[in-house]
């Protein structure tokens, strides 16, 4: 077989076989960058353990593979007066969306993006970067516990990329204890919108529709994970899903075009509170190395009780398009060895060689350069997206980080507020209930 098999039950991507010319680009990226086709049997009905990253779609010159579209269901929800539609946007969307409307690559369009979502009828527009700050509070605290108490498995692996998590569950289930139990930012955001946000705003969770706009097709799979319905248990309402829909950046653009909204003419607007503020550290989650840098800032501040040193506010050893980066940082007298990887095939090499066990903390993102070039980002005229575009998006997020007065999750007043009034402290019982999760082996799964 020359192509990646995409079955009809794949929650993230679809394939239009009439457009496929059999060039094999999809299979090449799946084999050489993602490493799934290198391990899986390609034949057999429904027999391919896709991790849903969509990089096959990102390299398809015929657009034969694309993200499963959900924007029309969200449009129906905003037109339904019974529904309260809460839309949250991931960091990378604001440096990709402008490209769909003639802006230069990497243009930071946060304000217009929020304005566009309001025009489309969202009742509230919130920021996934808020939940990225929360992820760092939880994941960083979890890391410190593993590091300092000697309890828990090291190295700790980041868990915010659902394709990476599924890769571990499928091909290395013995490594599941290495994964942080912290949910991804969109999964934290969804669970909190239907609990904390609903309580504070006096909203009936049954009426809320949670939507995440993301650069990512794998998030469409992630929200279907059976266990991600913690708001349901918390609210005592059967059948509530933490997140109802994920739209890609490209889908948001398609929706705006269908509604004939003139993006260029929009007046920038601000996110709603009380889940709409983020530090610069939350914003850089979109870049390879961004989660690690954000975590190191928080860990440093938490251990020393001081602001992160300048070095960690521009931590170049974990920045850039090199596929594997490593660094050693001294935190309160303890040497912390970290690695940052993109491409699951590259992570596989670290696992196979055993080198991965020489680190304390490892960030893995599946897509090249991180989420800024997730398969849901606009593709533009050149396919795949060239590195110059990736670098422009990366730069835009670092520039935005630099311009923020808040540079760590600990500086974010909305993070202080949620711990003071709702969660108590990182890894509290309530935080464990709503913000952490468990994984399971998929070693036998033919899964989609």
Q: Which residues bind ligand SF4 (CB under 6 A)?
A: 53, 161, 163, 215-216, 218, 365-367, 370-371, 374
d(CA 375, CA 54): 5
Closest by Cα among 194, 366, 185 to 281 = 185
**Shortest Cβ 35–ligand SF4 spacing (Å):** 13
Determine phi and psi for 341, rounding to 5 degrees: -135, 140
Q: CB atoms < 10 A from the CB of 68, how many?
A: 17
Distances (CA, A) of 408 to 52, 104, 147, 276: 31, 29, 20, 15
> What strands, in cross-sheet order, belong to the sheet with 245-248?
124-127, 84-89, 208-214, 245-248
Is 218 or 434 the residue whose CB approaches ligand SF4 more closely? 218
234, two tokens: 């918390």
d(CA 288, CA 399): 15
Closest by Cα among 35, 49, 54, 164 to 445 = 49
Is 115 or 390 the residue whose CB approaches ligand SF4 more closely? 390
- Is beta strand 65-67 parallel, antiparallel or unpaired with respect to 156-157? unpaired
Is 195 or 288 the residue whose CB approaches ligand SF4 more closely? 288
DSSP class of residue 86? E
Is 137 or 291 the residue whose CB approaches ligand SF4 more closely? 291
Using DSSP, state whether 428 is helix, strand or coil: coil
278, two tokens: 């983020």
Is 223 or 365 the residue whose CB approaches ligand SF4 more closely? 365
Closest by Cα among 118, 134, 116 to 191 = 134
Is 181 or 248 the residue whose CB approaches ligand SF4 more closely? 248
Instruction: Report, as residue numbers or ranges, the catalytic residues.
Output: 139, 142, 160, 180, 219, 222, 227, 371
**Shortest Cβ 218–ligand SF4 spacing (Å):** 4
Residue pair 275/125 in contact (Cβ under 8 Å)? The answer is no
Is 163 or 213 the residue whose CB approaches ligand SF4 more closely? 163
Q: CB atoms < 10 A from the CB of 276, how many?
A: 18
Q: Which DSSP string do the residues of 192-206 spell out, in sequence order?
A: HIIIIIHHHHT--GG
d(CA 67, CA 44): 23
Residue in the structure block whose two tokens are 């009828």 = 121
DSSP class of residue 436? B
Distances (CA, A) of 321 to 140, 154, 268, 394: 24, 26, 31, 9
d(CA 206, CA 126): 19
Residue in the structure block whose two tokens are 């990736």 = 390
Q: Looking at 52-148, which runs of residues are DSSP E strands?
A: 65-67, 84-89, 124-127
Is 232 or 437 the residue whose CB approaches ligand SF4 more closely? 437
Is 205 or 343 the residue whose CB approaches ligand SF4 more closely? 343
Burial of 399 (0-12, 13-18, 19+ CB in 10 A): middle
């Amino acid at each position: 077989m020359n192509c990646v098999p995409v079955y009809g039950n794949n929650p993230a991507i679809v394939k239009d076989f009439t457009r496929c010319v059999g060039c094999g680009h999809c299979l090449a990226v799946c084999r050489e960058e993602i490493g799934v086709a290198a391990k899986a049997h390609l034949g057999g009905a429904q027999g391919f353990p896709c991790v849903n990253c969509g990089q096959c779609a990102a390299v398809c010159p015929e657009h034969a593979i694309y993200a499963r579209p959900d924007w029309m269901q969200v449009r129906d929800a905003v037109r339904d007066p019974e529904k309260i539609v809460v839309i949250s946007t991931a960091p990378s969307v604001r440096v990709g969306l402008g490209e769909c409307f003639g802006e230069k690559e990497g243009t930071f369009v946060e304000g217009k993006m929020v304005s566009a979502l309001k025009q489309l009828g969202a009742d509230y527009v919130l920021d996934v970067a808020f939940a990225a700050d929360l992820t760092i509070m939880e994941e960083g605290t979890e890391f410190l516990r593993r590091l300092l108490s000697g309890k828990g498995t090291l190295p700790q692996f980041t868990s915010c990329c659902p394709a990476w998590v599924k890769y571990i569950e499928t091909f290395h289930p013995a490594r599941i204890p290495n994964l942080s139990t912290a949910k991804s930012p969109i999964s934290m955001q969804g669970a909190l919108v239907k609990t904390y946000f609903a309580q504070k705003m006096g909203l009936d969770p049954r009426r809320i529709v949670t939507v995440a706009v993301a650069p990512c097709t794998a998030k469409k799979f992630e929200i279907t994970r059976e266990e991600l319905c913690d708001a349901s248990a918390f609210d005592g309402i059967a059948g509530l899903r933490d997140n109802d829909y994920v739209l890609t950046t490209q889908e948001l653009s398609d929706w705006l075009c269908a509604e004939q909204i003139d993006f260029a003419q929009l007046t920038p607007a601000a996110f709603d509170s009380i889940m709409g503020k983020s530090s610069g550290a939350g914003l850089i989650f979109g870049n390879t190395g961004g989660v690690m840098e954000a975590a190191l800032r928080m860990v440093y501040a938490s251990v020393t009780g001081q602001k992160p040193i300048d070095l960690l506010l521009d931590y170049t050893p974990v920045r850039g398009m090199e596929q594997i980066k490593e660094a050693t940082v001294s935190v309160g007298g303890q040497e912390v060895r970290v690695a940052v990887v993109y491409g699951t095939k590259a992570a596989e090499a670290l696992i196979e060689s055993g080198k991965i066990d020489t680190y304390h903390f490892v960030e893995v993102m599946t897509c090249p350069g991180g989420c800024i070039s997730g398969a849901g980002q606009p593709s533009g005229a050149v396919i795949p997206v060239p590195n110059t575009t990736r670098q422009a998006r990366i730069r835009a997020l670092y520039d935005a980080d630099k311009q923020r007065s808040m540079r760590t999750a600990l500086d974010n007043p909305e993070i202080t507020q949620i711990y003071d009034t709702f969660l108590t402290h990182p890894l509290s019982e309530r935080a464990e209930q709503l913000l952490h999760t468990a994984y399971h082996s998929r070693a036998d799964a033919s899964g989609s």
